[in-house]
Amino acid sequence: MLTTQSYLIALLLYWGAAIGGVWLLKRLWFAVDLGRGAAAMLGGIAGLLLAPAFPGEGVEILAPALIIVIFNILFGEGMASAAWPGVWLAVGAIAGAVVGVWWRRRGLPATT
């Protein structure tokens, strides 16, 4: 069984890979300035990848919500066990899209 420290290290490695992946998406897919839709999509992808959730009731380990939702649907008790992590996943995607649009607007030059 993995220890709490090994779970935290794995989660940090996952988040590092997710941040690196989003950075590569921005650099390779969106070489020009992001439009509002592209910024929202990139933020939504980041939110999907970075949203944390608890795997289940009574489990005190934090894990990526995307992984938990997929594994609970495929190998767990189905949609019922994936509902609460799915909420975290949806909130992460929405928050990521909002932050992506905000980040784009923050970087635009002021017009008079």
Q: Structurally, how many domains does the chain consist of?
A: 1
Q: 54: which residues sit within 8 A by CB, 6+ positions away?
A: 60, 61, 62, 63, 68, 84, 85
Helix (H, G, I), strand (E, B) or coil at 110: coil
**Residue range 63-73, pLDDT digits in tens:** 788 888 888 88
Decide: 51 and 64 in contact? Cβ < 8 Å. yes
Q: What is the pLDDT of residue 26?
A: 80
**Residue range 17-39, pLDDT digits in tens:** 888 988 888 888 766 777 888 88
Domain that holds residue 27: 4-107
Q: What is the pLDDT of residue 60?
A: 64
Evaluate if residue 112 carries a pLDDT over 60: no
- Residue 112: inside a domain, yes or no? no
- Residue 85: inside a domain, yes or no? yes
- Residue 72: inside a domain, yes or no? yes
The predicted model scores a pTM of 0.74
Decide: 82 and 73 in contact? Cβ < 8 Å. yes
